Amino acid sequence: MIIDSDILGYVAATLTTTAFLPQAILTIRTRDTDGLSLSMYSTFTLGVLCWLIYGICLANNVIIFANAITLFLAILILSFKIYNTFFKSKNDEN
């Protein structure tokens, strides 16, 4: 079976990024981050950053493309979470 691995990679990247989008759009629109864990989201964002650097090291455009988009969204959401946790209400700590 002949599979163009780059096409498969872009399909994979599109699917996992698409699955992440509704959560990202909801959080960006409402700026409600109560349902998100700061430690989990920090770990995820750091992980995606490492994947992006890994993609750059390998000069793999699929990994770079997938993780650049996800990192952008993850940093936005993490910023809202950090703002809501530490600056908006100091009594409401997660």
Positions that interact with a second copy (CB under 8 A): 3, 5, 8-9, 11-20, 22-23, 37, 40-41, 43-44, 46-48, 50-51, 53-54, 57-58, 62
- Structural contact between residues 44 and 74, judged by C-beta atoms closer than 8 angstroms: yes
- C-beta of 68: minimal distance to a second copy in Å? 14
At closest approach, how far in Å is the CB of 42 from a second copy?
8
Q: How far is the CB of 22 from a second copy (least distance, A)?
A: 6
Residue 92 phi, psi dihedral angles, 5° rounding: -110, 75
CA distance readout (Å), 10 to 4, 71, 74: 10, 16, 19
